[in-house]
Amino acid sequence: MKQTWKPGTLIYPLPAILVSSGSSPDDYNMFTAAWVGTLCTNPPMCYVSIRPERHSYNLIKQNMEFTLNLTNKAMARATDWCGVRSGRDFDKWQETGLTPCPGVEVRSPYIEQSPLSIECKVREIVSLGSHDMFIADVVNILADTQYIDPETEAFDMAKADLLVYSHGHYHELGNEIGKFGWSVKKK
C-alpha cells in the first residue's frame, strides 16, 4: 500500500557537491549543492540549480563558469559547513582548510582535496522558481591519481569513498552489487 503525499523533492540520494566559483583568489568561493546532475553525454553537459540569494549565484552568473567538486568521507565536515555558512560572512577556504587551485580550462578554482573536479562553462540559465538552473558544458575533468586504477586507467569511485546527500543527511556509499549490464550478461 502507498500513501499519497504532496509534491516535493524526494529524488535521493544525490552527490554532495562543493561548487567552486570566482575568477581570482580575491573572490573564490564554494558552496554545497545536491541539485546537480548529468544532462547529456555528447556533448558532455551537466547542471547545478542555485537559489539567487546564494553568494556564489552572482559570481557564477557574472563569470559563466563553475567547477563541480565531488566530495568524500574525509571532506564531510567541510561539505556540510559550506552548506550552512555564507561566503559573504566567512572565508570558507580558511575556515575549512580546503585548498583552492587555479582552474585549468576555467577561471573558477577546483578543490585540491576533491577526488574529482568537473570544470564547466555555462551555456544557459533557466529560471525555475526557488532555484535557477545553470546548464553547462563540461570542458575539463581533473581526477586525483590516487583513485585511478593503474590497470584499467578508470576512476575508482568506490576507492574515492564518495559522499552522497539524502533528504537532509550525508551518507557514504555501500558495496557494489553489479555493474552496468550485469543483469543480462551471458554466463
* Predicted local distance difference test score (pLDDT) of residue 113: 98
Q: Flag residues of the chain having pLDDT under 50.
A: none
* Predicted local distance difference test score (pLDDT) of residue 34: 94
DSSP code for 44: T
* Predicted local distance difference test score (pLDDT) of residue 85: 87
Instruction: Give the DSSP H or E segment for 37.
Output: strand 36-40
What are the cell numbers at 144?
Answer: 586525483
Q: Are 35 and 14 in contact (CB under 8 A)?
A: yes
Provide the strand spans (E) within 61-176: 65-70, 100-101, 110-111, 116-127, 132-143, 163-166, 169-172
* Predicted local distance difference test score (pLDDT) of residue 87: 80
* Predicted local distance difference test score (pLDDT) of residue 90: 85
Domains of the chain: 14-172 (2.30.110.10)
Supply the pTM of this predicted model. 0.94
What are the cell numbers at 67?
Answer: 567547477
With CA atoms as reference, report the closest residue to 72 among 1, 161, 136.
161
